Amino acid sequence: NENVAVSGAQLPRAGSVIGGLNPSWVDGEHRVVVHTIEGQVKRGVIRNADLLDDAISLDPLSGVPPERIPTARLKAIFFMLSNGSAVAQGAGRKMRITFNDGRQVMGFADDFSTHDPGFFLTPADAGTADRIFIYRASVRSVAEA
């Protein structure tokens, strides 16, 4: 997995596909809420990460070292809106994702593919999350809404 550093340029949103770069790579620092398949919810920051690596490093910003969380344990990562940020407009197909635990989320996906181990979803409701990275192994079903 080769990462490309872009200096002096506007950084893309998490999961943006630029010139064929890895769509699971997130550049920069992002406030996130991580949901595990065991039902845990963890808040913190991730920095310059490939969301499909064996593990992600979550910095809880509370003076303790970052926690390495195996991606096999992850259900979804919610990328939180920055203060004053506009909510992204949904692009792609509107979908209802049902997780293995029965919980659901609705949104729009333009990079959805049945072959990818994960994909980004733009939430249908204007809440506090800008984008959600969904781990396919945690999904029971995907339906067009």
Q: Which residue, among 102, 130, 131, has the nearest Cα to 118 in the 3D structure?
A: 131
Given a cut of 70, whether residue 47 has pLDDT beyond it is yes
Q: What is the pLDDT of residue 87?
A: 63
Weakest-pLDDT range from 6-15, 47-56, 77-86: 6-15
3-state secondary structure of 111: coil
As a whole number, the mean pLDDT across the chain is 82
> What DSSP line would sit under 27-71, residue for residue?
EEEEEEEEEETTS-EEEEEEEEEETTSSEEEEB-SSSSPPEEEEG
Candidates 48, 74, 94, 93; CA nearest to 136 is 74
- Distances 64 to 9, 48, 67, 69, 105 between C-alpha atoms, Å: 32, 19, 9, 15, 31
Query: Model-level pTM?
Result: 0.81
d(C-alpha 140, C-alpha 96), whole Å: 11
> pLDDT (tens digit, 9 = 90+) per residue, 91-109?
788 999 999 999 999 999 8
Note whether 95 and 145 are within 8 A (CB). Answer: yes
Given this model, what pLDDT does residue 22 score? 66
Q: Is pLDDT of 67 > 80?
A: yes
Contact 42, 33 (CB under 8 A): yes
